[in-house]
Amino acid sequence: MLIALIIIRLSLALVFGTAGVTKLLDLKGTQSSLDSFGLAKALIPWVSILLPVAELGICVALLFGVAAWAASLAALLLLCLFCTVIAVNLSRGQTPDCHCFGQLYSRPLGRGTLIRNGFFALLSLVLVFQWQSGAGPNVWSLPSNSLQFALAGFAVVVLVAVAWLYVDKKRESKRLPETVASRGLPLESVAPAFELKGFSENGGSLRALLGYEKPVMLLFANPKCGPCAALFQEVGQWQQAHAAQVTIAVISQGTLKDNFVNTARNDLRNVFVQSEREIAELYEARLTPSAVLIRPDGLIGSKVVAGADKIRSLLHNTLHSSAP
C-alpha cells in the first residue's frame, strides 16, 4: 500500500510540476486562455502567475511526508475547481483551449478534459483519505527496496503518459488539415437555411434576413456566456449605426425567456433562438461568441471567427468593403 501511495504522490507531482512550469514558460498563452474562460481582465495578470506557482508548490510539497497530506488536499480543491469550470463551459457550449500544460499540450475543452481532471482528483482523494500520518514519509527516505519498486512503478506511469501524448499528437496531426478546413463552411458555398423563433411575431429566417439585399452577419451566442454579454452592448450599437450597410442577427441558445434580459438591456434587434446548437453546428461555429458573414446572394462570405476582437475585425472589413 505504501508503494502505491508513493507512486500516486510522484505521479501527481509530475502532473502539477509540468503544468506549473509550462504555464510559466508561456505566460501569454496562459493569459489568453484565462481570458477565453471569462476571467475578469483585472485578475488575469495575477492569476496567470499565482496559478502555476501554486501548482509548483503542490509538486514540491508532495515529495515531503510532512506536507504530502496538505498538498494532496490543495490538489483536490484545485482540481475540483478545474472540473467545475470545465463543466460549466461545456454546458454552455464553449470549448476554449484548456492550456493545461502550456504549449506542450493545449486542446479545446471536451469530455476528455473533464475525465482527466476528475481522474487526477480521484488520486488526490485517495491521499486525502490517508490523513496526515498515512501518506508516507519523504520520498527519498524510503527503504531501498521500497524505493526501487516505487520508482519502477513511477517509470511505468511516465512511459504510459509519454506514449499517450505521442499517440494523441499523431492523431491530432492527421486531423489538422481537416480541422483547419472545417473552421466554418467553405467560402462561396450556399449558406444553410434556417427559420427560428425570435422577439418579433414573424420570427426569423435566413431568407427574410437576406431580403434586405445587404450582407448578413450571424453572431452565435449564449445567454450564459460572459464574453457574449460583454459584447452585446456593442452589438446593439452596431445594429443601429450600420443598419444601412449590414444586417446583424444574433442566434442564441435556450429560450426567449433566457435571452430577454440581454436583448432588452442592450436594445438588440434580430435576436433568434436555437434549442441547443443546431444552427451553429450547421455553420461549424463551435465557440461563443463567434460570427460568420453571408453575402447578399446567400453564399458564405467569411470563415467563422471567434472572440470579440475577431468579430470586430470582421465587421470592420465588411463595412470597408461595402463603402462606396
Q: 195-322, superfamily in CATH?
A: Glutaredoxin (3.40.30.10)
Q: What percentage of the chain reaches a pLDDT higher than 70?
A: 82
The mean pLDDT value for 16-45 works out to 85
**Cell 460568420 appears where?**
292
CA dist., res. 146 & res. 157, Å (int): 17
Instruction: Give SS3 for 218.
Output: strand
State yes or no: pLDDT of 290 exceeds 80.
Answer: yes
Cβ contacts of 277 within 8 Å, gap of 6 or more? 93, 253
Q: Which helix (H) or strand (E) holds 15?
A: helix 2-25
Nearest CA-CA partner of 236 in 255, 219, 216:
219
State yes or no: pLDDT of 235 exceeds 90.
Answer: yes
pLDDT for the residue numbered 107: 66
Structure confidence at residue 275 as a pLDDT band (50, 70, 90): confident
**Cell 507531482 appears where?**
13
Q: Is the dihedral of CA 63, 65, 69, 71 positive or negative?
A: negative
Written as nine digits, the cell of 198 is 425570435
Reported as a single tens digit per residue, the pLDDT across 134-184 is: 667 777 676 676 667 667 776 776 777 677 666 665 665 554 444 433 467
Cβ contacts of 10 within 8 Å, gap of 6 or more? 62, 63, 139, 150, 154, 157
CA dist., res. 187 & res. 292, Å (int): 11
Spatial contact of 288 and 109, defined as CB atoms under 8 Å apart: no
Is beta strand 216-220 parallel, antiparallel or unpaired with respect to 247-253? parallel
**Cell 496531426 appears where?**
173
Written as nine digits, the cell of 41 is 481582465
pLDDT for the residue numbered 137: 73
| Extended strands (E) in 74-134 | none
State yes or no: pLDDT of 266 exceeds 80.
Answer: yes
pLDDT for the residue numbered 108: 67
Global pTM exceeds 0.85: no
pLDDT for the residue numbered 168: 62
Reported as a single tens digit per residue, the pLDDT across 202-229 is: 568 999 999 888 999 999 998 878 788 8
Count of residues in the chain = 324
pLDDT for the residue numbered 106: 61
pLDDT for the residue numbered 178: 40
Is residue 315 packed enough to be buried (19+ CB in 10 Å), middle (13-18) or exposed (0-12)?
buried
DSSP 140-208: GGS-HHHHHHHHHHHHHHHHHHHHHHHHHHHHHHHHHHHHHHTSSPPTTSBPPP-EEEESSTT-EEHHH
Spatial contact of 34 and 52, defined as CB atoms under 8 Å apart: no
State yes or no: pLDDT of 20 exceeds 50.
Answer: yes
- Number of neighbouring beta carbons within 10 Å of residue 309: 9
Mean model confidence pLDDT for the chain: 83
The mean pLDDT value for 257-275 works out to 91
Adjacency order of strands within the sheet including 290-294: 204-205, 195-198, 271-274, 247-253, 216-220, 290-294, 305-306
Reported as a single tens digit per residue, the pLDDT across 65-95 is: 888 899 999 999 999 999 998 888 777 766 6
Domain ranges for the chain, please list them. 2-181, 195-322
- Number of neighbouring beta carbons within 10 Å of residue 280: 24
